[in-house]
Structure 1
């Protein structure tokens, strides 16, 4: 009986199990298993600045990163899904994010990422791709196994161009595990924010892109220089044909009423003609040409002042105009703009013959060849944009440059002729006034600075009341030892007033030989060219406004400066001769008394200081009762090892 009951119990339990299982299956059919997917939203609007949140904004798939459930839905990250990355030392297994287009650094330069790990390490975020060299930022990672957000500010690189981000970790454990989430580019300040639109700028490829130029691609500026330091410029490929063009269409009339000087910076692969044409409006087309140089940034200007009231809607650029090219030449351009004529408000000054910029009052003529060109050596000595290039026949002794006018030159107050010269050789320079009712007057000078600008002066104060219509220059005058094409550059040819130091009420002091100002009491003679000039170094013991410039022939041992008193010098009480000298070299200096009934007397000294004014003393007390009428100075006396010319400045020559 017990056995029967036992078997019945077994079968009863079995039936209960079967019944229970059947009942659970029915319940499961009523309540399905709960499942999760990274994104269940079917109406997601893609945010292009979110790289990947591993849920609904998984916009760029990250290789080597697995989508997994968030192991810790706490703190700053309660996302259901995140990325899992296992670090490896295998080359190429960093996390590379190809955005497919250049990152908009102007507005979105902040990269953010959330990381959870227990590994002591760093994360390096590197910008790559595009047209700019790679650059990176790095941060330490918190290893407390909690979620932390890391921010990388690339605002400093906002003018660069990249289309890739590469993330790398440097844990010592090659199998280090990192959980990642919410990789995105956050907003940053626009570098062009606050920049007002300047309609005079056509396009600078930075913040002033006011008129589109379809044929030109924006790129990082190649071969930056002082002419073009912009971060971005434009690249144009000159396609097949002689007249391929860049067309800039305003789609309305260009305002040329005030800003009518068009300028453009160009870096050209080869020299050729750049033709700029205005067209497309109700006025007839007009074009201007410039010759461009190869291999350097240079700014070219085109004067459309004559179009101020005309109607044009397009600018057309022809590079290497008229030449059939192979279709591969690349030109780089930048800073296309219209500016106001710099000479628009210039008031003519007749005392300026020509500055080759705005004061073009007398035109250069003569039998030399001339052309207005860009200043070949723009520096502190001459900052003019334009100068005159003179090609002189150095085999013709009196080849000449002339500034002519039918009207007489007003020399009543402004009678010091000045000219800036840039020369490759030291040569004589003759300046001459002629062509009026007065007899011609000429003054010889010397071009003594080579390879730089220097202003030369010619004192025509003796012609203050004379009538002359012409100014003539003879470069290497009287010589025929040059070439048929000696080149000189000149600028700022003008008449100025003589030194304006007031000498009213000054009584002549005959013990002062010369101070180059009010006490010029004796005739200057000798074969060393001498002229009063502005003090080139007002400092130390000499702050005089004017001094004497002595051009000594250093190859002539006895070239000299002579002061002729025309009478016996009174040496009875004041017989110590003093002279201030500014020199570039240490040389012997001989002082000599002569010209009277007494025997000549000389004292040797030495210029022993360079670059500063120094006073030298010669004791002629032994000549107190002697008769002399002349003082003679020999710079580098007795030596012929100098240059022609050697320049010395002297001042305050006197007896004490």
Structure 2
């Protein structure tokens, strides 16, 4: 009898102290373990506004402290939250000022993901906000829910920075649960989600191809607008899993730019193994305006880029990095068809009558030969011709300052015979 009583007590004790969804903050035994950060203070209090859609006795109060911009608080759940089918979340809020938003974020053992609510429509009235993650990259291992009100705006610690929230629920999503993407990315699938997250003034939209041509006749593409005054804006897409660079380190992207010479920076990040140092990137300039072209991103050289890895699961797109956008047609870009591509298998000839220095090079490359160098042609690693010079001497210097960083092939015609050698532009 004592053993049964003890077992029942332990079961009730364990159940009473387990915080799981839904969260109504009414229990007298659940601790509701919130962790405040960056000037946010969350407190469980008696509901001071029993009215409308929320007549609960107990709610959570969040005060955003004086001068705090990123203030919030997070609760640790008893177990990871399962997003397999239930991806619709609702939260009741009471806000002192209309137009504010709540950021709901999930963190823990996996990558974090978040969603910003629609603006709160009415001040000093309980309102229910909806967060639909059915088209987003999620996982089933995160066990923390983060609450941030009015992200990016300073709080004052007073009534105008005091918010109430309650009744956090999880249910079946309103739309279909879509698969996450893998390479190649064509943006044509109706069963795959393409979860872009914009940042720093970038605005990404998937839409019908407004400029179909021979290079890109695809029906659907991605548009990115770089907004007024933004310098480092871009967007990042979450992939289904880590991207494997073990056998192929060359990536191609189709791009449409309103101005020739603009660059696309393609960055890979998100490694859970080494988040800070696991990212690698490179830039390639467009060569035409108002037409589709295919750009090639070469990650083969360890001297030019941080070493690639097989752990990153996000792709970041930056257009015209470092220069301000204006939000107009001149800051509107399109991209499509991101895929691995096999590199050119070029011979690596080193012959006694053909030398080349310095290698790596920055601004100029000198070729010397015993015989007469009749012609020098420079190719990318994929075989695209980028520079040609005709000579009739045994010592010739080429201006390489305009070449993009990467691996190139120099082909020299010497006394009627062709020889090739690789070099690196840094």
Superposition TM-score, scaled by structure 1 size: 0.29
> Which structure would you say has the larger RCO, counting Cα contacts within 8 Å and 6 or more residues apart?
2
Structure 2 length-normalised TM: 0.42
Q: Which has the larger radius of gyration?
A: 1
